[in-house]
Every structure is written in C-alpha cells, then in structure tokens.
Amino acid sequence: DTEVTQTPKHLVMGMTNKKSLKCEQHMGHRAMYWYKQKAKKPPELMFVYSYEKLSINESVPSRFSPECPNSSLLNLHLHALQPEDSALYLCASTDRYNEQFFGPGTRLTVL
C-alpha cells in the first residue's frame, strides 16, 4: 500500500456543525501533516505530527483540532468553522528519505 487516503472527498457543513476529516497511510511513515489550500494558492502548513506527537502547530485557530490516534491515522476535528475556512484540506506523510506523499484532499465548504 503506497498511498495516503483521505475521507470524505467532499464535505459541506454549517457554522454550528462538528465534523472530522480522516487521513490514513499504511507505509510506516512516522511524520504526518495537515495543509490547507485556498483556490489558486499554494498549500499552507497547519500541523505536523512526529511519532504520534504534535510537533508543529502553525498558529492555527482552535476551531481546528488535530488528533493522531496511532501511527497510521490522522484526524482533523472541525467545530464552529467560518465560511473563510472553506478550502481543500490536504494530508501528507513523509518517508525516511523525507519525500512527502500527499493524499487527494478533502474539499470543505462551510455555509
């Protein structure tokens, strides 16, 4: 298995909803990343987990809450989001040669 999977592919939520994005990899990678990408912009780093511990938080608002339950799984819990949080959310993991493998992303729309 040489891919990063993300579910769901699309998500529409209201500003009062709570939802979660899921990312999974079975390549034994020990670093996992969340990025946010707005239209026609580059991906922006949000969080980095290394060996299941949060090592980098790029000053992301607390309405985004990451979780790494085990070495293969990364979640992003969403609560009380704003319309400007609508974006493509990308997950990535890195191998021991520090090549990043990206998932296909979850396209989030906040109404």
Partner 1 sequence: DAKTTQPTSMDCAEGRAANLPCNHSTISGNEYVYWYRQIHSQGPQYIIHGLKNNETNEMASLIITEDRKSSTLILPHATLRDTAVYYCIVRVEGSGTYKYIFGTGTRLKVLA
Choose between 105 and 110: whose C-beta lies nearer to partner 1.
Answer: 105
Q: Give Cα separations from 3 to 25, 79, 102 (angstroms).
A: 6, 28, 8
Can residue 50 be called a binding residue for partner 1 (CB under 8 A)? Answer: yes
Can residue 13 be called a binding residue for partner 1 (CB under 8 A)? Answer: no
Residue 4 phi/psi, 5-degree rounding, is -105, 125
Can residue 99 be called a binding residue for partner 1 (CB under 8 A)? Answer: yes
Angle at 39 between CA 37 and CA 40, to 5 degrees: 100
Choose between 37 and 86: whose C-beta lies nearer to partner 1.
Answer: 37
CB 16 within 8 A of CB 81: no
Among 43, 78, 85, 108, binds partner 1 (CB under 8 A): 43
Could you say which residues in the range 57-86 bind partner 1, by CB under 8 A?
none
Which residues lie near partner 1 (CB under 8 A)? 4, 31, 33, 37, 41-45, 48, 50, 55-56, 88, 90, 92, 94, 98-105, 107
